[in-house]
Amino acid sequence: MNALAAFEVVASVQSVSEASRKIGISQPSLSRHIKVLEENLNTELFYRIHSKIRLTPEGEQLFYAVQSGLSDIRKVCVNLKSQAENPTVSIHCGYGLAHFWFLKIYPELQQAFPLFEIQLSVSQTETAADRLTADLSFVLGKPSNPDYYSDPIIREEIVLACSPSFIQRHGIKVGHLTPAMIRQLPLLHQGREDYGSIWFGDWFRAHGLEFELTPEVLFYHSYPLLLEAAAASRGICIAWPKLSGDYFATGQLIALQGTEMDSGNGYFLVSRVKQKSDDRISALHKAILEKAREIF
């Protein structure tokens, strides 16, 4: 490694004397490193013309390779030093949970833990338990992997919902709407990858009816957009009343009576068991749980 580092400096300035001054190593020592490298490779790396040197074609190949490798190593070293000086804890959250809850407590968490940076990443789709990369992740469904430590955040209790104008336009009599009647109405679907465990197929089967997706089905790959579409009277959606902002409180959405369903599943706050032993991650994990229990 010393020989390669010496070679990279000498090759970059095309001068042993200048390289010596640049890195503070004697010329004989640098020359010795270059000679050892050439002997190991059985290849001449420099043309030596009097007091000047120039890379051979083989030397140029090695220089580009070494320069690229050492550049990556330097970047890693800088990142490692930065992490040591500015410790971070990473959190991953799905867009729906972030939009309706986590982004509201995020500033409070940052203020509560000033000694490290909380890095938040948000994605449109939920993260599967076998693809966790953040220190802490919000996951739909409890991981079965024993390497993960998890705590429940919010239970998956859903209801079918629509806007008041949708009810009026379709002549729906609240309290007299049957599952068979609902199946004939426009339904707004979230992409299956975004669901915990309940989608319209599950809901209808729980009421003794079969349900198949048709070509005209509307899919929304974002839970907030799904609620927005329902509030705009485009159809009936599956909503989490506890995770819907003020849509129900302001009357933008109405829960259809008798359509409630509880999967027994929900969101979990997950970290790897070995990460849970980290004081920073453990303290943040606990603080998030306390925030969740205040709301849910």
- Spatial separation of the C-alpha atoms in residues 258 and 46, rounded to whole Å: 83
Please indicate whether the domains covering 88-151+266-295 and 155-264 agree at the CATH topology level: yes
- Spatial separation of the C-alpha atoms in residues 178 and 50, rounded to whole Å: 96
Contact in structure between 176 and 132 (CB atoms under 8 Å)? no
Beta strands, E only, 109-256: 117-123, 136-140, 148-162, 188-190, 218-220, 237-239, 254-255
Q: Which residues pair with 254 in a beta bridge?
A: 162
Q: Taking CA 30 as the corner, what is the angle to CA 26 and CA 17, rounded to the nearest 5 degrees?
A: 65
Supply the pLDDT for residue 77. 67
Supply the pLDDT for residue 25. 84
Sorted by where each begins, the domain ranges of the chain are 2-85, 88-151+266-295, 155-264
- The burial of 276, by beta-carbon neighbours within 10 Å (0-12 exposed, 13-18 middle, 19 or more buried), is given as middle
Chain center to CA of 34:
46
Q: Which two tokens stand for residue 86?
A: 């500015």
- Overall average pLDDT of the 7-21 stretch: 84
Tell whether the model's pLDDT for residue 118 goes beyond 70. yes
* Most distant CA atoms of the chain, gap in Å: 100
Tell whether the model's pLDDT for residue 225 goes beyond 80. yes
The average confidence (pLDDT) of the chain is 85
Q: Does domain 88-151+266-295 have CATH number 3.40.50.300?
A: no
Supply the pLDDT for residue 255. 95
Supply the pLDDT for residue 195. 47
- Phi/psi of residue 107, nearest 5 degrees: -60, -35
Q: Does domain 2-85 have CATH number 1.10.10.10?
A: yes
Least confident of 21-25, 157-161, 282-286: 21-25
Tell whether the model's pLDDT for residue 161 goes beyond 90. yes
pLDDT in tens, 136-157: 999 888 877 788 888 999 999 9
Instruction: Match 């000033």 to its residue by tokens.
Output: 114
For the full predicted model, state whether its pTM sits above 0.75.
no
Q: Which two tokens stand for residue 58?
A: 């083989």
Domain at 155-264, CATH class: alpha beta
